[in-house]
Amino acid sequence: MSPLEYQLSPGRKWTEAEQAQIWKKPLSHQESEEERRVTQEIKRNWHRGEMKIANILLEGDAGSGKTQLAKALSANFGLPYTKVTCFADMDKSDIIGAILPIIPSEALEKMDPVDQSVLQALYESDGFQSATEVMMEALGFPREAAAQKLKQLLKNAADHSGGEAVEYRFYPSEIVRAFRNGYLLEIQEPNVIRDAAVFMALNSALELDGSINLPTEVIRRHPDFIAVITTNRHYAGARPLNEALRDRVQHTEKMDLPAREAMIERAMAKTGYANMQVLEVFAEAIRVLDKTARANAIKGVAGMRSYFYWVDAFAGGASARASLYPKVIYKITTDAEEIRILEEAIRSHGLLEKMDEAELGLKKNGF
């Protein structure tokens, strides 16, 4: 799929940093049916006014390729890719951004050394990153911890202002940067958010002619902005996706395990392993385990990531049976009764014997 064929605004000029954010497909990338369908639908409707498709929902299990598809759309459309990972206690500042006081140097020296280093990193940033992103890099924190630290820093900075008039600087969120500049934004797991006010802000941003009220200005949605919402069906703490947010989506894909042939093609491209008998048996096992887990309300997932790593472990010399557990079954569950159910499914489908046959065949052929 040629990026030139599907670029939405071919005349746009990107900065060096923005150009680096446009995803480059690795050689192992295999175009899926979903990728072709979404790409063609967005391109077909791009200039059709109210029929424009610019909000996509990808809903499926972990490892079903949702983020890979979001990144592929970045490559196909030639748009910088960025993402925001939602968490339960998000508030409006996580959607909009934060206003931070510029603390005088003498007051800054009296603050906690960690707060000093973070504020210094924020002051020296060029505004290209969100405040949360800056803190993630400065502290090595995951996104949720960095967001919580930012809230604490706001309070600490206010306490050290000494009541004097201080200068303030606004740091936009990743959502605002993408919304303003016309990037492709992946919004991961919005169904874990608890605060209704956060959903209201998101819903406003997802209107095709939407706007976001910032403390400093009102910004309107860039015509090239694409939002790709990705949600896991069996994610801990997840709820049904907010109805108003779902209503703003113009195209939804149900992301399940791909067909067995597609699984094998992707595994060959990803791992470089090419024995068809092994790939077919492993793919069948993954599909049986996935179906069994669903039927028995086992929360874990047997997905493409498990398949890739199982194939890779076998290609590296591990036995099929032994590597099945750490690469697949234990990723689904470590509960003894649930493991017994999964093992019985593997046995009843004759897959243990098929694994042994494939392994024996390789040994006979000197592999």
Mean pLDDT of the chain: 86
Q: Is 323 helix (H, G, I), strand (E, B) or coil?
A: helix
Residue 367 falls within a domain, yes or no?
Answer: no
Q: For residue 20, what are the CA distances in angstroms to 16, 78, 81?
A: 6, 11, 9
pLDDT in tens, 299-308: 888 888 999 9
pLDDT at 169 exceeding the cut of 90: no
pLDDT at 73 exceeding the cut of 80: yes
Choose the final residue of a domain: 192, 226, 256: 256
Contact present, 155 and 54 (Cβ < 8 Å)? no
- Rounded distance between C-alpha atoms, residue 262 and residue 269, angstroms: 11
Same domain, 295 and 207: no
Contact present, 135 and 146 (Cβ < 8 Å)? yes
Stronger pLDDT, 166 or 292, i.e. the higher one: 292
Same domain, 46 and 67: yes
Which of 156-160, 183-187, 296-300 comes out lowest in average pLDDT?
156-160
Residue 366 falls within a domain, yes or no?
Answer: no
Which residues, listed in sequence order, are joined to residue 101 by a DSSP beta bridge? Answer: 168
Strand boundaries in 242-310, DSSP class E: 251-255
Same domain, 246 and 305: no
Same domain, 250 and 106: yes
Same domain, 250 and 271: no
pLDDT at residue number 3: 58
Same domain, 220 and 264: no
Range of the domain at 356: 260-361
Exposed e or buried b per residue across 89-127, where buried means at least 16 C-beta atoms within 10 angstroms of its C-beta: ebeebbbbbbebbebeeebbeebeeebeebbebbeebee
Same domain, 249 and 291: no
- Rounded distance between C-alpha atoms, residue 258 and residue 263, angstroms: 6
Same domain, 47 and 134: yes
pLDDT in tens, 329-355: 999 999 999 999 999 999 999 999 999
> In what side-by-side order are the strands of the sheet with 251-255?
81-85, 184-188, 226-232, 55-60, 251-255
- Rounded distance between C-alpha atoms, residue 20 and residue 136, angstroms: 19
